[in-house]
Structure 1
């Protein structure tokens, strides 16, 4: 369990529940619709979403994640905007006021958001206040927001809340989240997709 004092690294996340995360990422990428501008959050599942985005049409991707920017940088139809700021060593993502200020200047069609925990009572949470600010600003800047995460994120609560469940258009997770629990989340507003 992650807490305010402990957060797993991106390298660790890339070895945990990988087949489940790939299914989730593919389903999340299918929600792109007619979006032309997309925010892709830091983390392994969002990175997998970036890899699953279509390459046959122009797309602008805004991200604070160095690995995600690297994955997309050489893609012909994708324009990548990397948010500036202090780079966190564990996740290789930028944070702090530079990041949020730059992000606040955009109107984004769709934000793909990750979190360390999601609960019906406490919303979406993460251990680090600086990361929380970036995620909150991404949701404020976006017309639509989608949370994508493994079943292990549900019911988990971390230190910093950055959004309520009702702020999301959709939640994409695996069928390892029980249908009854998925229904309880859907009652708060978002469509819940289990794959």
Structure 2
């Protein structure tokens, strides 16, 4: 395990309970106490956690997240999906992130990558987002250029929605757009509860060379209110190992590549 992988593993352990002791890192990652402390100090300097005597706690934020973030479900699965998404992003890429807990996890993983956080006179990554919590999170990463779409704030999701988003999105292109959803069906495609969020997500997907749906397996086979586009637009899904063989076959039949995060 190299240093970057080890730092991500420390964050994975911290995500499970919100609190971590040096002894936990020593035992679970098979490293020395000095290495464990150095890793915690490194992550603290990147504001990804808060150091305590003998360990660390999850990094608090300067704003109060909506209830959908506080009561996040399937957190381990979403973190694995985030790592799989990050593996598709080369240094220097331009990516889109809509709102939601899975997209927030992707932002966290990208912000911890050693190659992206390496000091450079130029941005190592550009992130276009309509989620103000993601923008605030990435504002602490000077190596990441953060572009925020316009729009009206949706108070339940912290996403900017409405026609003002078109002004920014119509004038940019992206390499990859990662789109979180409330449901995804092999035939209907991805769906969300709010039609305004659907419109922004669809436009973000159209402006990207590759649009990827990120959804844990609990959302497969479910349909929400507003559709966003067919498999011709969203031809890749990143999900977790909970997807069934029948579901995999159904997506393949409809031309959707499925990446299973493990």
Do they fold alike, i.e. is TM over 0.5? yes
**Deviation digits for residues 138-190 of structure 1 (CA, Å, limit 9, x no counterpart):** 11100011111111111111111111123224211011111331232123223
1:32 matched to 2:95: no
SS in 2 for 1:61: strand
Point out the structure with max Rg over C-alpha: 2
C-alpha deviation, 1:115, in angstroms: 1.1
**Pair 1:189 & 2:255 matched:** yes
- Residues 77 and 66 of structure 1: is their aligned pair in 2 closer, same or farther, counting only changes over 3 Å? same
Question: Would the aligned equivalents of 1:146 and 1:168 in 2 still touch at CA under 8 Å?
Answer: yes
Q: Deviations over 1:119-150 (max 9, x none)?
A: 12211111211111101101110001111111
Ranges in structure 2 where 5+ consecutive residues have no aligned partner: 1-64, 117-123
Contact 1:165 1:185 in 2 (8 A): no
Tell me, yes or no, if structure 1 residue 114 matches structure 2 residue 171.
no
- Higher relative contact order structure (alpha carbons within 8 Å, sequence separation ≥ 6): 1
Find out whether 1:20 has 2:86 as its counterpart.
no
In 2, distance between residues paired with 1:151 and 1:116? 11
- Distance in 2 separating the partners of 1:169 and 1:160: 18
TM-score (norm 2): 0.67
Spell out, residue by residue over 1:27-77, the C-alpha distance to the aligned partner (whole angstroms, 9 max, x if none): 111111466211011101001111112352411100000111111111121
Choose the corresponding residue for 1:11, options 42, 67, 89.
Answer: 67
Matched, 1:144 2:210: yes
Q: Is the 8 A contact 2:191 2:225 kept in 1?
A: yes
CA distance in 2, matches of 1:122, 1:82: 29
Partner-residue secondary structure (3-state), 2:88:
helix
> Would the aligned equivalents of 1:64 and 1:83 in 2 still touch at CA under 8 Å?
yes
- Scaled by the length of structure 1, the TM-score of the pair is 0.89
> What are the within-5 Å matches in structure 2 for residues 34-73 of structure 1?
36-53=93-110, 54=113, 56-57=115-116, 58-73=124-139
- May I ask how many residue pairs the two structures share in their alignment? 187
Larger CA deviation: 37-46 vs 122-131: 122-131
Q: Let me know the Cα RMSD of the aligned residues.
A: 1.7
3-state SS, counterpart of residue 121 of structure 1: coil
